[in-house]
Structure 1
Amino acid sequence: MKRSFVIFYALITYAVAELIWWGYMLVKSQPGRTGMIMGEGMVFVLVFVVGAIYLHKSFNREQRLQEQKKNFLLSVTHELKSPLASIKLLLQTIQKRDLNKAQILDFIDKSLLDIERLDDMVENMLLAAKIENRSYSFPKASFSLSVLVDSIVNRLQLTKCDGSQKIINAEIEPKIEFTGDKFALTSVVTNLVENAIKYSGPCEPVDVKLYQKEGKIYLQVADHGIGIADEEKSRIFERFYRVGSEDTRNTKGTGLGLYIVKQVLDKHEASIRVKDNRPVGSVFEVVF
């Protein structure tokens, strides 16, 4: 990419130098038409400069995208290896150790959680690819949004540091019906809750609320984590984009979660906004 920039700027320099030279020669040979030559030359330079600026921005955008794709592949590799290594270790322990039934069931439960994590990640990547290729039709059907959110919260529920208090505080209004793509909206809720957990401290709670008000359905997911800088709030729904720099970021993720969230909600004519939580953290609010 650096070589391409060097060639690009060299060609621009050469073209500008040639333009100035030919302009000088025309003025010298036809001094009576100096005004016309200068005017046309300025228009040409303006068009040339605008085109060069757009090309430069395109190069920069492509370079950022390639860097994001590279980091995406590295993240996916890490995300795959971690649960696979955990599952392998748990199964090897069951195979080699003389464990009682309770211990075996506990190890199986942990393995299933890692498998669910892998399944979520694969579904995310498949859905993102289908959305990008415009090959997903978003089939709609009527279902209980209350049951959907409650089941996801229960599946992702974790205990806090003392081992008893739940990390997700859910306030779910019952019997909220919705017509939409249940599979895609499952991915939306899962991504929002997982993100809140991921970017919070190990002992910080996450608040999930689902309720109806004035004919609209509201879903709020609030955390007390690191928060999102104002300049990044407009970019967090871009494909492969992740909060922070590539050098300082230490949380797991592929940069596809919020991209999927935004695309799916757009297809359901729903809105999403992110605002600061008080005193720290972020609140994602979805309005159907």
Structure 2
Amino acid sequence: MPSLIKVDGKAPKTGRLRILSHVVVGYMLLAFLWWAILLLKKNDEAFAAKQTLLDTQTIEQVDLAQQELIKDHNRQKTMIIGEGLVFVIALFFGIWFINRGYTKEIEIIRQKKNFLLAITHELKSPLASIRLIFETFRRQNLETLDQQHLTSHGMKETERLSNLVKNLLLSARLEKSYAPVLEKHDIRTSIERVVGELRKSYPNVNILCETIDAPATIWMDEPGIHSMLTNLIENAIKYGQGQPIDISLYDKETHYEIRIADQGVGVPPAERSKIFEQFYRSGHEDTRQEKGTGIGLYIVAKITEMHGGRIRVVENKPKGSIFVATLPKAE
């Protein structure tokens, strides 16, 4: 069955449908203009006919009737023009509203298309690697060192696949059924644990971490915060172009501030409010170089929000981005 969605994210024939809608709107405007002209013309004809009738009356009657006739004529004219303006404004407002909804739907279709392409690749890649490892074990008698190398690689691919599935399930739960269990914990412990795990997973990336000396206690759902920190730091690693990642914790008056800074490509200002949307990724999946599914930062934003905090991204100088997460202190 042919796909109903084109590669660029637009449904078939949308261009022709949009042209047809513009033609219909143009026809409606022209029909209304013609209707308004006819009404004004009929109003003028009625005014002229009434003036002809006044010529048969006395001068005193004519003066009073003439004034009333002019008022009635102007009132009718004003009513026709006023109703016309209301109709035109309502029409343009309706067109704007429909076009905004149309554009939003097209963007959602594009994001879902990109997500399907991304998730297909993200699932296919580790499965292909694991299959190749098993086939190598089956067909060859490997030395112990080679076996250890392949086993280590297979474990990494399995962990990658497991993390992907966890993120998919967590993303689905965050929309409906996720209920955080909040307990008092030291956020420094969570940061140090996640940094330690990622240093093992990415030994070639220099991950720098600086926290505060005093306990940083917050009300938090430990698994949720662990997922939030992991996705946030992995995002910095992914787009950091191999440069060092700086992680800092600051003690503010009412909250703690976590900053994750990279020296990568950065986030364009126009996209800084969009990157936390579900499935959103810049560009198109067929030409994008970086891996991902578009749900990592969505998870970050939702979990941060559930903890009463907020997340934002600012420019890092001379290049890169700084993701700033704030979490309220435990009272």
1:81 — aligned with what?
124
Over 3 Å counting, the alpha-carbon distance change for 1:19 and 1:215 in structure 2 is: closer
Residue 14 in structure 1 maps to residue 27 in structure 2: yes
The list of structure 1 runs, each at least 4 consecutive aligned residues, that deviate by more than 4 angstroms after superposition, is: 172-175, 244-248
Letter in 1 for 2:187: L
Q: In structure 1, how many angstroms separate the alpha carbons of the residues matched to 2:90 and 2:257?
A: 49
2:4 — aligned with what?
none
Match of 2:218 among 168, 178, 182: 178
Residue 69 in structure 1 maps to residue 109 in structure 2: no
1:163 — aligned with what?
none
Q: Contact conserved, 1:228 with 1:243, CA < 8 A, in 2?
A: no
2:64 — aligned with what?
none
Query: How many residues are aligned here?
Result: 281
Report the CA distance between 1:144 and its aligned residue: 4.1
Spell out, residue by residue over 1:110-136, the C-alpha distance to the aligned partner (whole angstroms, 9 max, x if none). 22222222222222222222333x322
Residue 206 in structure 1 maps to residue 250 in structure 2: no
Spell out, residue by residue over 1:69-96, the C-alpha distance to the aligned partner (whole angstroms, 9 max, x if none). 1111001111111111112222222333
Match of 2:193 among 151, 167, 178: 151
| Alpha-carbon RMSD | 2.3
Q: Contact conserved, 2:219 with 2:307, CA < 8 A, in 1?
A: no
Q: SS at the partner of 1:273?
A: strand
Match of 1:37 among 80, 86, 89: 80
Stretch of structure 1 that moved more, 39-48 or 98-107? 98-107
Q: Contact conserved, 1:277 with 1:283, CA < 8 A, in 2?
A: yes
Q: In structure 2, how many angstroms separate the alpha carbons of the residues matched to 1:18 and 1:92?
A: 72
2:270 — aligned with what?
231
Stretch of structure 1 that moved more, 143-152 or 223-232? 143-152
Q: In structure 1, how many angstroms separate the alpha carbons of the residues matched to 2:187 and 2:129?
A: 33
Letter in 2 for 1:121: L
Over 3 Å counting, the alpha-carbon distance change for 1:136 and 1:106 in structure 2 is: same
Q: Contact conserved, 2:240 with 2:264, CA < 8 A, in 1?
A: yes
1:112 — aligned with what?
155
Q: SS at the partner of 1:30?
A: helix
Residue 187 in structure 1 maps to residue 227 in structure 2: yes
Stretch of structure 1 that moved more, 51-60 or 237-246? 237-246
Q: SS at the partner of 2:121?
A: helix
Identity of aligned residues (%): 37
Over 3 Å counting, the alpha-carbon distance change for 1:181 and 1:4 in structure 2 is: farther
Q: In structure 2, how many angstroms separate the alpha carbons of the residues matched to 1:2 and 1:278?
A: 42
Q: SS at the partner of 1:83?
A: helix
2:174 — aligned with what?
131
Q: SS at the partner of 1:274?
A: strand
Residue 56 in structure 1 maps to residue 99 in structure 2: yes
